[in-house]
Amino acid sequence: MPTFEKIRQIRKEKGMSLRKLHNKLQETFGNKALRYNTLYRIEKGLRKARVSSLSQICLGLGISLKEIGEAISDDYTLASVIRKNDTLAQYIYSEKAGAQILTKESQPFLALRLKLEPQARTKIEQDPIELGKFEKWIYVLKGSICCNIGKETYSINKDDTLIFESTLPHYFENKTSQKAICIIIQNPKHI
């Protein structure tokens, strides 16, 4: 049985609503408690839970990790290596702009390597606000990138970082004559 189904089954057996479980987590962990939306997504199987999140949930349910241990061992590994020659999915925005996915499907966040040739740009993207809070973190490895977020433009250079709420419309462009490369992490993952 998948982890999320096991969690839901145990919660229902204990006669506890999802809201009651969340309230219990807030009482125990305060501002470090899982957000209700995250708890909901984990239990619906829309998001994989980290072991730290599962520990919180188990504490809230009054059970040990061992009680859902069988499900955990099926779904989780301690480490995941992706070699540079491993082919995962790619986004091709144009012949001058593309991104390679660096994370596996099972991970709760999405990491991309974005390459922009001179004068290239991506398409406008916007994560759905109705599904909760989404953030993107950008780290420039080479060159300079303009990040257009809502009505604002931020220019970031090699070794600069930018973090923003990605429910705002946004796109990236390279206005220089040099190739630009950056790493983008989206959390939680939404494709």
- Can you state the angle between helices 3-13 and 51-61, rounded to 10 degrees? 10
| pLDDT above 70 for 87 | no
Does the pTM of the predicted model rise above 0.85? no
pLDDT at 72: 52
Give residue 91's pLDDT band: very low, low, confident or very high (50, 70, 90): confident
- Contact of 188 with 47, CB cutoff 8 Å: yes
- pLDDT tens digit string along 17-33? 999 999 999 988 888 88
- 47 C-beta neighbours (distance < 10 Å), count: 19
| pLDDT above 80 for 140 | yes
The alpha carbon of 173 is separated from its chain's Cα centroid by a whole number of angstroms, namely 22
pLDDT at 73: 47
Nearest CA among 184, 22, 17, 35 for reference residue 113: 184
pLDDT at 79: 66
pLDDT at 78: 56
Nearest CA among 100, 83, 82 for reference residue 92: 100
pLDDT at 70: 47
The alpha carbon of 126 is separated from its chain's Cα centroid by a whole number of angstroms, namely 14
**Structure-block tokens of residue 185:** 């992490």
